Chain A
């Protein structure tokens, strides 16, 4: 969150609504540790990242859904042989994210 603090504060001053997606747990190999945070503003602008670029697109969609009135949620992304082209981490690990509105 430290790295994206300036973006968060600017967005808040501008009155934009924000969703935060944070890595809370990691199984196996993964690029980012618990605490890695990505923020998504209600107009789709993004700051920070939660992986090496593998799952960011899917996280933005979930974050926008949260801002659209959806519940805060746990989301997991992992690699599966059955779904080689589905969203996942190419490095073979699984990450668990918590996505919530920044309303606190």
Chain B
């Protein structure tokens, strides 16, 4: 990369940070905030490190800790001795993790999809819209989506499913059992954190029967957020999108999604 010391032409760290942010790559930036060399930086990636905090032993320990923080998606201050000793406090280092953005896969290229893409982008998701019908799954209809894929949802999930994790979301908006059931079965086979499925109460009941016929057990059914969203009385596609992302946030934080006025205790954890 540009900052490789071997090139003899090291790029300023910020240029590399900007390029990594733009390409949505995972990295951590460690900065000495107190102690000798305040302001010194170490940029840590899973396969590469650039910069220095001014002391080789400290660099080694912070590189290791930064990779740990990055994997956990945490940012915070850690303290060390001048040579990286644990349990000492002569150098304080702020390690900021820049994890890859969470992913949202939206199945079904309908009006609700366009609104959900917009709201998901506001929240920082990398958004994929997928529908097997090529007249609907077009870039023109979803200009803010990161990708628009014409394929069967279950086939897309076979490809990208293994990379999905707790922070990611699958939203099934098709309301067509022909597409929905295989998509849900494939989504349940992944480690994705949220699976929401749109439909009326009646559609939902009918879909449960089809899912059981397809071999989905109680545990799988319990993982589904169906009908999708929290009850805020949403009617328009935009309101529905807000209801869906509110459900995703509340799932992550373990909160009840009731009005703060009706609860007590700290607002922020």
Show the binding face of A for B, using Cβ within 8 Å: 1-2, 5, 8-9, 12, 22, 24-25, 29-31, 33-35, 72, 74, 91, 93, 96, 98, 100, 102, 104
Min CB–CB distance A59 → chain B (angstroms): 15
Known contacts A9-B18, A34-B94; 13 further A-B pairs (Cβ under 8 A): A1-B96, A2-B124, A5-B21, A8-B14, A8-B18, A24-B33, A30-B268, A31-B268, A34-B77, A91-B267, A98-B33, A102-B14, A104-B41
Min CB–CB distance B18 → chain A (angstroms): 6
> Given that A102-B14, A104-B14 are known contacts, is A22 also in contact with B21, CB under 8 Å in the complex?
no
The binding surface of chain B is classed by DSSP as: mixed
Contact at B14–A74, with CB atoms within 8 Å? no
Chain B residues with CB below 8 A from A74, complex form: 33-34
Show the binding face of B for A, using Cβ within 8 Å: 12-14, 17-18, 21-22, 31, 33-34, 38-39, 41, 75-77, 94, 96-98, 124, 266-268
Contact at A34–B268, with CB atoms within 8 Å? no
* 28 residue pairs bridging A and B, Cβ less than 8 Å apart: A1-B17, A1-B21, A2-B21, A2-B98, A5-B18, A9-B18, A12-B14, A22-B94, A24-B33, A24-B94, A25-B77, A25-B94, A29-B267, A33-B75, A34-B76, A34-B94, A35-B75, A35-B97, A74-B33, A91-B268, A93-B268, A98-B31, A98-B94, A100-B31, A100-B39, A102-B14, A104-B14, A104-B39
